[in-house]
Each structure stands twice: as structure tokens, then as C-alpha cells.
Amino acid sequence: MARRPLIAGNWKMHKTVAEALALVRDLKRLVAQVRDCDIAVAPPYTALFPVAKAIEDSNLRLAAQELFYENKGAFTGAVCGPMLEEVGCHYVIVAHSERRQLFGETLVTSGKRVKAAFAAGLTPIFCIGETLAERQANDTMKIVAAQLDAGIEGLPAATLRRLVVAYEPVWAIGTGVVATPQQAQEVHQMIRERLRARDPEAAATIPLLYGGSVKADNAKELLAQTDIDGALVGGASLDAESFAGIVKAASVRTRGQ
């Protein structure tokens, strides 16, 4: 079963509507010829709808950065899955480490969000990863496994197979300190094995992205690892040339096993 690479750009709290439109205009042109790689951009909420219109005729897909797990009600400031689906989102990032650290995301709420995303017809890009203290305490595998288990708990196999997982060591996010390809592969392999224990087909089909200081010049080596199928890119996704460089590093071949 072939796994297509996915390169997703997480813009975080960057870009006005005008800036977002300028970025996707350039990006569309730079990646127009790419056929063998899925490409997603995750603008802030305010730019989702205009960006959806701007990329309608392109090979870019829209992602949101977060969703709430209830579908309606008195939840000031929250946005739900059906609203994101309506404006054209294909993906939604779930449980990014910044949500875990700054906005109270827990193991339990991360699992609710994954289910809510699927229920709305969205593909969750589910983020997991250890902090520096956890790595130094040799707890990486234990922490990442627990986060994975919480996110996929109770999902039927057919749904699980549509998940995207992003392994993002917290110490590598926005720091310029990228995990070595070996460090990343080791954790990706554990994630793949854990998925295989749940459902062999899910293990074969789920794209496992790496995130944390991915740039055009380190992407190729990371993506060459057996279990790394793509990247979730923060800083380098804010510039069309550098993001396109990462897409091109991924598009040299379609992954399979």
C-alpha cells in the first residue's frame, strides 16, 4: 500500500488576510507541477475562507489549526468541525504542543478532538511529542505512546486508517534544533509498530509526519527515513520559496512499502 507524502504548513498566529493571499498566490505557482505529494496550508481562522477561495483551482489543500469538540453552544471563542468543513477545510491540526502547553489540551480532550474532526468529515493531523525534560529523563517512548493511545482510543479501524499523525519533539519546535533523522525515525518506527498492533492496515496507510525546525535543506534526509512520510512545517512555511523547497524534497518519490 503506497503512502503519499504530505507536507503541511502550520502558519500559527501569522499572516493577515492580505498576506495570506499573497503567500498562497506565490506558493501555487511554485508547486503547480507537483503531482506526487499532498500539500496543505493552515492559515489562522480569519484567513481560512479567503484562502479556500484562492486555492480552489490548485493542488493545495486547506487545514485549520485547531477545533473544539462540541458542535454548537455557549463556547465563546470556539470553532467547531462542521464550521471548518463548511469553509473548505480538508484537514485540521489537533493537539499541537502549543495547544497542550498554552491552552490546556489534555490527553482526554485530544481524543475528543480527533473524534470530532472525523465526525465533521475532516482529516485530523494529530500531533504528539515529548518535551526536552521528558527526553532527558528517557521517557520519550512512554510519553509519545501514551499521547498516541489517548488520541486513537475507541476509533473503529476504518476511521483510524484515515488519520494523519505528526511526531513533533517539543524541543525541536521553533528552536532551529532539528531531531536527527535517526532520532526521528526511532520514534516514528515505534508509532508505526503501535499502530500495527491496533490494525495492520492503519499502520500501512497512515502518513507519519515529522515536525520541528524542518527546512528545505534538512527535509530530504528526514524524508529518506523509512517511517517518515512527510512534514509539519512551522516557520519555514511562512515563506513561499522555503516551503516549496520542502515540498520538492518530498515529491521525488511516492513512498510505499
Give the residues lining the site for ligand PGA (CB under 6 A).
Answer: 10, 168, 173-174, 211-214, 232-236
Residue given cell 480552489 in the structure block: 56
- The continuous run of DSSP H or E covering 3 comes out as none
Cβ contact 62:40 at 8 Å: yes
Residue 56 bears catalytic tag: no
Cβ 213 to ligand PGA, closest distance in Å? 4
Rounded Cα distance, 98 and 248, in Å? 27
Cβ 175 to ligand PGA, closest distance in Å? 7
Cβ 218 to ligand PGA, closest distance in Å? 11
A 10 A CB-CB count for 180 gives 11
Cβ 67 to ligand PGA, closest distance in Å? 16
Nearer to ligand PGA, 203 or 213 (CB): 213
SS3 198: helix
Cβ contact 210:184 at 8 Å: yes
**Burial zone of 256 (CB within 10 Å; 0-12 exposed, 13-18 middle, 19+ buried):** exposed
Q: What is the 3-state secondary structure (H, E, C) of 60-79?
A: EEEEECCCECCCCCCCCCCC
Catalytic residue among 96, 98, 105, 134: 96
Catalytic residue among 66, 105, 168, 188: 168
Residue 241 bears catalytic tag: no
The closest of 65, 40, 21, 96 to 250, measured between CA atoms, is: 40
Rounded Cα distance, 72 and 70, in Å? 6
Nearer to ligand PGA, 188 or 199 (CB): 188
Nearer to ligand PGA, 80 or 93 (CB): 93
Nearer to ligand PGA, 47 or 95 (CB): 95
Cβ 68 to ligand PGA, closest distance in Å? 20
Cβ 104 to ligand PGA, closest distance in Å? 18
A 10 A CB-CB count for 200 gives 12
Rounded Cα distance, 56 and 115, in Å? 27
Q: Give the length of the chain.
A: 257
Nearer to ligand PGA, 2 or 177 (CB): 177
Query: Which residue of this chain has its Cβ atom nearest to ligand PGA in the complex?
Result: 234
- What are the catalytic residues? 96, 168
